[in-house]
Structure 1
Amino acid sequence: MPRRALLLAAGAAGAAATAGCAVPAPRRRGPVADPAPGLAIASTRRALVLQLLAHPDDDLYFMNPDTREALDAGTPLVCVYLTAGEADGVNKIPGAPRPAPDRAAYSSSRHQGLRQAYAELLGLDRFTPWQKSVAALHGGHRAEVDVLTDGVRRVELVFLNTAMHTGRGRPGLPSLWRDRRLVLRTVVADNSPLERAGSYTYESLIDVLAGLLEEYRPTVVHTLDPDPDLQFSSEYERRRDSEQRGYSDHADHTAAGCFAWAALIRWVARADGRGSRCPGSSSPR
């Protein structure tokens, strides 16, 4: 038999043999429905993204495009800023004389920039009014909270506003991470509903962050990098790029990442100590 005829015969025999096989019908006869916007797949509890950040703009630089995609999906977003972002208080305007330092005004300007950015991310006018309030936090601490909603979409900005420098000019957040005895003051931004400054210690900052995690119970937490890459830079490059010596990232970012992870550990440990469901789990212990 020619080869072509042999192959055709073999194919026909195979088809006849498989015709009698019992092949189960597909279990799904239509397209699989996507999870409802803002709902976690493993739980009926509404999803929520919480971001723990050093400065009022770290989310815009380092958490996007995840931030925008979460908002577009209708997932509520909470951003917690550990520092006031006041730097040296000099808000430089190109082409204008150098202004006098004003840390409260500079912090306020960075807050306003955030509000405008998030309003645009929600598709609203950049000057859409936000609801401002003061939240009572763990241990008697207080913080400004700004909220903007658009239908099911919601953004909350929580400003802890610790000073970026200690009274001796050292970096505030990194010093607080290393020195358990340090007391780091806060900055009251201009136009804030807060009326007076406060202060944080190493322990109280972790407690406040753990308390916020317990209050919001996020399904996803974004943090900065607590373990940045090693990198050698010249002194000029280091200062230009705001890097810490020997590493590839800003020292405030590293400290904020360390505080965030310490708070996550404390949050889980507290839940475990109470015999409660582990945060992020869809089933009991």
Structure 2
Amino acid sequence: MDGFEVQIEGCSMNRFSRLLPSARRRVVAAAAAILALGMIGWAVAPILTASPGRDAPRPALWAATTSAPASGIVRVVDVVAHPDDDLYFMNPDIRQSITDGQQLTTVYLTAGEADGRNIDGRNEARLRSLGALPPADRPGYALARQNGIRAAYAQMATGSPTSPWIREAIPTAGGGAAELDVLSARPQVRLLWLEMREAESIHGNAPVSLHGLWDGRVTSIPAQAVADGPVTKAFSYTPAQVVNTLAGILGAIRPTLVRTQDPTPGGDPNADHQDHIYGARFVQAALARYAAEVPASRRPHFTVQTYLGYQSGEFRPALAAGAARLKLQSLLTYGWSGKQDYCGRSPLGCGDRKIDTRPQGYGDWAGTIRYARDTSTSWLLSGPGGSMRAFGVLDGQAAVWNRTGATWSGPHLLGGTGIDQVASAVRLPGGATALFATRTLGSTPADYRREVVYTVQSRAGFGPWRSLSFPDAVSRQASLDISAPAVTVDASGRLHVYVRDGDFTLRERTGRADGTWGPWRHLGGSGVRGNPVAVEVRGRVFVFASTIRSVLAWEAPRPGAEVGPATSTHLPATTLPLTVSASGADARLCFRQPGTGRVMTALVRPAAHGRVLSTLAARDGAQGYGPVAVTAGVLAGRAADGTLAVSGPVGPGWRGSPYRGLFSGEPSVVCDGSSVEVAVVGADARLHTTTVPDPTPGATEHAVAT
């Protein structure tokens, strides 16, 4: 096949919006005390009044408890390598957590001391040329970055960057100490500084770093002192102490959602900052330790959301202008752009001057947000007699919820650990269900790996996980970054599994109902990014995957045949995530328009004589980001503020209420007779569903420029 005829139109989304209020706050040191962060559960309690001295009475910031939290409570833990990784790569999700009043703790692994010079790039180049660079002051620069982060969070939470904080040193389960900052006006907002030494190099050889610690080139890395900080004890971190410290924090807070950076950003080892990559791998190990050692009766279930780092700037902007402006506002505050006194006239600075030259980051990090591998919308399935199943990943294990009639039960964990956050379900011939995912195994360089796995339903339930391994020809580094699998079944009943490898090409493996699998096939496709998507259309398989500039397609020429080579669809650039469904004899793609967040669709069919036609049209709809789930004219996805937006009839036709908060992963929708079920796994790690009866699209279409 030489090409596709492409017709594009917009998908309308009526959204449930919420106002994003600005926030207030100010940086001061005040005294507070806290119980040690051990492997126990704590719940937030009111902060008592304390005077600013180190010897002031110590209020209890948490009250100890051994029970799991009440239904619907949300506790979020963000773990990043450096001060500003959260603002660049996790916003607007962090802002919305604050807006929703969620209990939010952001953990910074390193002190972010870099070269110890708090000057912007232009001045640094000028001073260097004059031979007048100031001496390095790593404790001082680390404090300036802390000041900027406190100001940015205070502004998001209260509207004022000068809203005061309570700062205190606390012991950790790793045997060291950390600085805990609690926002006085909004005590559910907390910052926790572990102050490990940073690599001070994005890609270079830096043995005294998280990378060196992971690889075993050093046995420990020291903590970096922060000027005027409450932590005065000198100590070091071994690999075990890093994991123990993080597992202790998780055990203390008992989160329902953990946000972290991408531990495997691709075949190129220079794809991201080494602190981001190896810090995230220590977080993975700590999550596994926490899930295994803290009984489920003493903690809630949790989900994990993983974010791309430097790579996110390679793609077109994912956020609409308004959301990008709010994100940039926090970065400007962090960078101390207006030079206001946020921090009591500290001579070391109230923010990070290094980002002054380029506050939007390289490749416009401020204009985008992207999840790593968390883009599956194929996890909700309907069954006979109105039954339904939803699949997710909780505590590092696959989970299933079952609906009989109108009643949901679950979650039931399927066993097997290390399951990555995305699971895709497919109905097999005969009615059984197969569940596909990737699994990360190993906590040392020697055994750290990722593989594609699947489990099949039988009368006794789901069986053990089976590995589909990965081709020997793929480098070990490239195999680490395999995407979430796309799965479909063709007319002959064969299963087709597609993954993108870390070299940004597509791989396929096919299997039969008897459990036999063929070898992995290399399907090529240069520059494949994100997750592929696949669909069966009248017995023929279509596969699509985004590149930076367009979308590639692979098509089976006839029912039951293998897909052919990659072909350009000539579609415009997307924001990366795709969703696909069958529409008559065509495949219907859904994606976001860069820079607007508007949802677009493309009807794709083989083109005669290799001629490709594009007719671009759009329908008015909500701005947002991330993938959209679509069926029977109903769409569900993130609105601009990160909350759920759903198209379809709104009002008396709804049964139940749509979920209004942040959620983990992506929505899924399924048509069940005359109604459509919409489901998300909320930030509370619980399944939330709503039913749209008799869906009808009905939106106004208008032409836009190609």
Where on the TM-score scale, by shorter chain, does this alignment land: which range? 0.7 to 0.9
Whether 1:68 and 2:103 are equivalent positions in the alignment is: no
Query: Residues 181 and 115 from structure 1, CA distance in 2 versus in 1: closer, same or farther, beyond 3 angstroms?
Result: same
Cα distance in 1, alignment partners of residues 214 and 180 from structure 2: 24
Letter of the structure 1 residue corresponding to residue 172 of structure 2: L
Residue 261 (structure 2) aligns with: 224
Of 209, 213, 219, 1:176 maps to 213
Check whether the contact 2:163–2:185 (CA below 8 A) recurs between aligned residues: no
- Deviation, 1:219, is 0.7
Whether 1:154 and 2:188 are equivalent positions in the alignment is: yes
- Pair member with larger Rg: 1
Check whether the contact 1:209–1:260 (CA below 8 A) recurs between aligned residues: yes
Whether 1:163 and 2:197 are equivalent positions in the alignment is: yes
Whether 1:143 and 2:178 are equivalent positions in the alignment is: yes
Letter of the structure 2 residue corresponding to residue 145 of structure 1: L
Residue 264 (structure 1) aligns with: 287
Letter of the structure 2 residue corresponding to residue 129 of structure 1: P
Cα distance in 1, alignment partners of residues 301 and 213 from structure 2: 27
Letter of the structure 2 residue corresponding to residue 160 of structure 1: L
Residue 112 (structure 1) aligns with: 147
Of 261, 264, 271, 1:248 maps to 271
Check whether the contact 1:132–1:146 (CA below 8 A) recurs between aligned residues: yes
Residue 81 (structure 1) aligns with: 108
Cα distance in 2, alignment partners of residues 117 and 157 from structure 1: 12
- Deviation, 1:196, is 2.4
Check whether the contact 1:271–1:278 (CA below 8 A) recurs between aligned residues: no
Letter of the structure 2 residue corresponding to residue 175 of structure 1: G
Task: Find the residue that maps to 1:88 and give its secondary structure.
Answer: coil
Residue 35 (structure 1) aligns with: none
Check whether the contact 1:53–1:224 (CA below 8 A) recurs between aligned residues: yes
Cα distance in 1, alignment partners of residues 412 and 176 from structure 2: 32
Cα distance in 1, alignment partners of residues 300 and 150 from structure 2: 33
After superposition, give the CA deviation of every residue in 1:74-95 in whole Å (9 maximum; x if it has no partner). 1121011111100111211454
Cα distance in 2, alignment partners of residues 59 and 100 from structure 1: 28
Task: Find the residue that maps to 1:122 and give its secondary structure.
Answer: helix
- Deviation, 1:140, is 2.5
After superposition, give the CA deviation of every residue in 1:35-60 in whole Å (9 maximum; x if it has no partner). xxxxxxx9526211101110011110
Letter of the structure 1 residue corresponding to residue 178 of structure 2: A
Check whether the contact 1:51–1:222 (CA below 8 A) recurs between aligned residues: yes
Query: Residues 108 and 248 from structure 1, CA distance in 2 versus in 1: closer, same or farther, beyond 3 angstroms?
Result: same
Check whether the contact 1:277–1:284 (CA below 8 A) recurs between aligned residues: no
CA RMSD of aligned residues (A): 2.7
Letter of the structure 2 residue corresponding to residue 266 of structure 1: R
Cα distance in 1, alignment partners of residues 80 and 166 from structure 2: 21
Cα distance in 1, alignment partners of residues 250 and 171 from structure 2: 14
Residue 18 (structure 1) aligns with: none
| Greater strand proportion | 2
| Greater helix proportion | 1
Identity %: 36
Q: TM-score, normalised by structure 1?
A: 0.72
Unaligned runs of 5+ in 1: 1-41, 232-245
Letter of the structure 2 residue corresponding to residue 123 of structure 1: T
Unaligned runs of 5+ in 2: 1-68, 128-132, 303-393, 395-409, 414-706
Check whether the contact 2:254–2:300 (CA below 8 A) recurs between aligned residues: no
Cα distance in 2, alignment partners of residues 276 and 126 from structure 1: 36
Q: TM-score, normalised by structure 2?
A: 0.30
- Deviation, 1:127, is 1.9
Q: Count matched residues.
A: 228
Letter of the structure 1 residue corresponding to residue 73 of structure 2: R
Task: Find the residue that maps to 1:69 and give its secondary structure.
Answer: helix
